[in-house]
Amino acid sequence: MRFDDTQDASDAATEAAGTEAAGKVDPAKAKEVKKFTHGEALTNCRLDPTGRYAFAGAEDFGVYRWNLETGEKVVYRGAHDSWVRRIDFSNDGLHVFTSGWDGRVAVWEVEPDSVRKIGIPVEAGDKADDKKEPAEPKVELVVDSPVRIVEAHRGFSRWVHAGPNGKYIATCGNDKVIRLWDARRWKLKKEFTGHGRHPYAVMIHPDGQSLVSEDLMGEIFIWNAKSGQRVKELKSGMTGFDNKFQADMGGARDMAFNQDGSLVGCAGITNVVNSFAGQQDPIICIVDWNSQEIQSHLRTKSNAPGVAWGVRFHPDGFVVGAMGNQNGKGTVEFWSLAEEVPESGSQEKSDSTGEQAAEETPTEEEKKTREIKPFHVVQVDKAVRGIDFTEDGLRFIVACSDGSLRVYDM
């Protein structure tokens, strides 16, 4: 069910509590400071570990790198013939991994020695006449030689993640298989099977002993990395049946651990009505790693239909989500997990006769799962398809459906 709109006074109190929980930074001060443009819609974005470069995939099958200080744009191309929906970095920060819907994972140098300059033909509207200065030649900076191309999966290769110790890399794809690779030689070490539908994301826990994955039907699996056995299965609610197309729809769009690995966030959709028309609700599920249970469902401020495309844990403890709404606009929303949990079943309600009636006894799932509204929202005039933060949490970037990459300072 959707939340009812909260009252202004309640909103103010929630935002004040969230700001206090934020500590060092104030999300209410988030301000767009730079905007880089591209001719095609962006599909995701990541900041390299230094915070110097922003990488983004685009619907033209390219991967682009912007220098956030100079604005210099470099295209990495030639390895993928479909969208790249996931980008990650090696532990030493020297290599960037791109996972494409063509089944491939490409390994590139973040700062390659060789970047070609390719001239771009001047269009008729750019030509200077005899009375004006000649039009300045345009060039494109191109990297077209990846270090390695891995045929990782049959069908979409939806995800690539470099493990915390630098030894292993995890991938998953439409062949319903999760694979663990040796990070140095890209030799296949182990396969994990059991998802009934396409897995969308997989992460190696910071302790290196476990993996967590999520699929189209919103099922979250926790795996023993050494044995390959599934040790836990959770129903996240990130799913739904599309009545118009008579198909199961749903699944996660992003996944992230917090800094110490005690929480994992899964972003996606729920309450599907017509997924192809964008009629579904965004949702972020927070899993407590110690109990291996879903702790919270994070819902948007406006309840607008759309997709939760991104989730990140800020170093100050709050959760940040990136939303693309059905109306073509987007939001970046901030939640505090420090809210008190109301005691389930402790209240009474009146029935139609005015008599007091006890609440129905909640299920175990209802007892454990809180639904939380954000304490602050940043409005974006285009759908947001990805988000990432610098390590200090003072800056974030978003990738948008109009091809723009936007930089915010807090």
Query: Does the pLDDT at position 357 exceed 60?
Result: no
User: Order of strands across the sheet with 199-204?
Assistant: 199-204, 210-215, 219-224, 230-235
Query: Does the pLDDT at position 8 exceed 60?
Result: no
Query: Does the pLDDT at position 247 exceed 50?
Result: yes
The predicted-structure confidence for 94-114, as pLDDT tens digits, reads as follows 999 999 999 999 999 999 998
Please provide the DSSP assignment of 262-284 as one string.
SEEEEEEEEEEEEGGGTEEEEEE
Query: Does the pLDDT at position 16 exceed 60?
Result: no
Measured CA to CA, the distance from residue 124 to residue 154 in angstroms comes to 43
Domain extents for the chain?
1-36+240-340+361-410
Query: Does the pLDDT at position 5 exceed 60?
Result: no
Structure tokens at 290: 């110690």
Please provide the DSSP assignment of 336-353 as one string.
-S-PPPPPTT--EEE-TT
Question: CB burial class (10 A; 0-12, 13-18, 19+) of residue 273?
Answer: middle
The predicted-structure confidence for 74-94, as pLDDT tens digits, reads as follows 999 989 999 999 999 999 999
237: left (phi over 0), alpha (psi -120 to 50) or beta: left
Burial 214-248 (b: 16+ CB within 10 A, else e): bbbbbbbbbbebeebebeeebebbbbbebeeeeeb
Q: CB of 232 within 8 A of CB of 292?
A: yes
- Closest by CA position to 113, among listed 76, 155, 143, 149: 143
**What pLDDT shows up at residue 171?**
98
pTM, two decimals, is 0.85
Domain spanning 1-36+240-340+361-410: CATH 2.40.128:
yes
Instruction: Tell me the torsion sign for CA atoms 296, 42, 145, 178.
Output: positive
| Mean per-residue pLDDT of the chain | 86
Instruction: Tell me the torsion sign for CA atoms 148, 153, 156, 157.
Output: negative
Residue 370 burial (CB count, 10 A):
17
The predicted-structure confidence for 249-264, as pLDDT tens digits, reads as follows 677 899 999 999 999 9
Measured CA to CA, the distance from residue 360 to residue 371 in angstroms comes to 18
Helix (H) or strand (E) holding 235: strand 230-235
- φ, ψ (nearest 5 deg) of residue 109: -85, 135
